[in-house]
Structure 1
Amino acid sequence: MNKNELITAMAEASGLPKKDCEIALNAFTGVVENALKAENKVQLVGFGSFEVKARAARTGRNPRTKEPVEIAASKAPVFKAGKALKDAIQ
């Protein structure tokens, strides 16, 4: 499902116009992005949580040349599904 399909599904489920659903979806993604930038956790009870995980620096290997490569430390967004969501898809 892409963004346009999600907006259409939201409009059908809520009875709201597509334009309003697009505004709401863009606001939601913007708020989550800003919270993660500030390294805050966004938790939606029953659905899941979004947070930032730190990845330590490590040594990898170039698969073509087999040479060791230093991989810098980084931060990655992570979504962890809540119990209700896990139960709903089983």
Structure 2
Amino acid sequence: MSKAVLVGLVAEKHGLTKAEASEIVNTVLSGIQSALVSQGSISLVGFGVFSVVDRAARNGRNPNTGEPVTVAARKAVRFTPGEPLKRAVNAQ
């Protein structure tokens, strides 16, 4: 599902214009992003947990030349689904 489809779904479900629904979706996504930056995690009960994890530096390989390269350490976002989400996905 793309962001545009999600906006359309929110607009249809709640009788909003697409512009209003887009503002709401953007606000939610912005809130998740700022919580990850400032607190390192956000828990949405029944859905899952987004958290920031540290990835260590590692050795990699350039796929074009085969020459070894060092991949720098970085932060990444991890998502752990909640039990209700797991059950819903596995029910299909």
TM interval, shorter chain, is 0.7 to 0.9
CA RMSD of aligned residues (A): 1.5
SS at match of 1:64: coil
Q: Counterpart of 1:10?
A: 10
Q: Which runs of 5+ in 2 are unaligned?
A: none
SS at match of 2:31: helix
Tell me by how many angstroms 1:16 deviates: 3.3
Q: In 2 relative to 1, CA 54–39 (structure 1 residues): closer, same or farther, beyond 3 Å?
A: farther
Tell me by how many angstroms 1:21 deviates: 1.7
Number of positions where the alignment pairs a residue of Structure 1 with one of Structure 2: 90
TM-superposition CA deviations, 1:39-81 (whole Å, max 9, x none):
4211001111111111000111122322211110001112221
> Is the deviation greater in 35-44 or in 24-33?
35-44
Q: TM-score, normalised by structure 2?
A: 0.84
Tell me by how many angstroms 1:19 deviates: 2.7
Q: Which runs of 5+ in 1 are unaligned?
A: none
- Please give the residue correspondences for 1:45-84 in structure 2 after superposition, counting only pairs within 5 Å: 45-84=45-84
SS at match of 1:46: coil
Q: Counterpart of 1:26?
A: 26
Percentage of identical aligned residues: 43
SS at match of 1:31: helix
Q: TM-score, normalised by structure 1?
A: 0.86
Give 4+ residue runs of structure 1 displaced > 3 Å after superposition: none
